[in-house]
Structure 1
């Protein structure tokens, strides 16, 4: 008889194998392939997750939770935490690859994931504002949605310019961080426009 600890270990191993396989091959990857990657039988995969859809739901939740915890910790932790996260960006390759496959596939699941990412971003930014590491916004929800959309679009564009070799996203993420960190930090730290004239005019016209 399998122990409870062994079952928990197998469940996590299957989930991690599924995230990595979906990230590299897309969501057409078979249950049999994922089970082989995890070193378990397809029957054990079914025992833990019921079906491929059940596995996908668990992977969605895991990927979003991991990224939310990382981003929230980096924002609220200040410069040292942010720089530490940038320094280990390759470690997030399976999670980022999984998200990219989600957005490329589209459909209701992609919409659900986007909604969850935006809500997570709004909560994380609110915590960072409270911690004093991020400036407050006139419209926190709109800012969170904009940052999520910009981040996804920028990463998708970069991976199209620099496709992974043999499905390995790690060097692409490192190249992305090296190429985009400076302009992103300049924009988010100092802004783009030399003064507030355009913002002031827009707010006046919008009646704010």
Structure 2
């Protein structure tokens, strides 16, 4: 059995213990950490880690799959649950800190595995946003894939920027990162998602009239005069 963040509530099988230890350790120390440290956290030998996952890259690929499955589950539950269940989940948000720490470590590390992880997260976002539309919790989009990509980039980018600005030479503390991010970002982001920013459709309609949304790859010309001039300085 696992808790909300995918940690085993009991002893778990040896591969599960290794996987859980790896997600935690990668999220705290980054992907430069050695297999011996991960093995020690799991209470096994480094040779046993190799036996189950063949290599450090194999272990990281398994961690990617595990983290993606957990993130997808949590997001899907968020768009299908009632308000009370959502508030209960928010009250225990720090339980998801290992997942957050792992994703941040992947973004900082970069490379093909990071790109694959983000692309999978975007694809999953398309699915859970569609489920939110089905349940009536989320407004339909003109371009579901583009919206999912923007929300994924914006959410992860904001979190990564915060981590970079508050970075230190020591190991990361995913739980503290989660607390700070939620304190600073939860209410303003919910306000934007719920009430929006603009008071009417003038800018959106001007951009749509200029051809955006009709062409792929951003090939439409940049629109001009879509907003009123700023007030003159006095």
What's the TM-score once normalised by structure 2's chain length?
0.82
What is residue 18 of structure 1 aligned with on the other side?
22
Question: Structure 1 residues 147, 78: closer, same or farther in 2, change over 3 A?
Answer: farther
Structure 1 residue 179 and structure 2 residue 200: aligned? no
Shift of 1:166: 4.7
Aligned 8 A contact 1:23 1:95 in 2: yes
Q: Deviations over 1:35-69 (max 9, x none)?
A: 11100011211121111111111000001110110
Structure 1 residue 189 and structure 2 residue 194: aligned? yes
Q: Deviations over 1:75-111 (max 9, x none)?
A: 1214333323322121111111111011111111111
Q: Deviations over 1:94-133 (max 9, x none)?
A: 1111110111111111110110000000000001100111
- Measure the CA separation in 1 of the matches of 2:151 and 2:172: 27
* Alignment root-mean-square deviation, CA: 1.7
Aligned 8 A contact 1:162 1:172 in 2: no
- Measure the CA separation in 1 of the matches of 2:209 and 2:85: 38
- Measure the CA separation in 2 of the matches of 1:50 and 1:166: 27
Matches within 5 A, 1:1-208: 9-163=13-167, 166-206=171-211
What's the TM-score once normalised by structure 1's chain length?
0.91
Aligned residues: 202
In structure 1, list runs of 5 or more residues that go unmatched: 1-6
Aligned 8 A contact 1:23 1:97 in 2: yes
- Measure the CA separation in 2 of the matches of 1:47 and 1:137: 46
What is residue 4 of structure 1 aligned with on the other side?
none
- Measure the CA separation in 2 of the matches of 1:79 and 1:160: 33
- Measure the CA separation in 2 of the matches of 1:41 and 1:100: 27
In structure 2, list runs of 5 or more residues that go unmatched: 1-10, 215-234
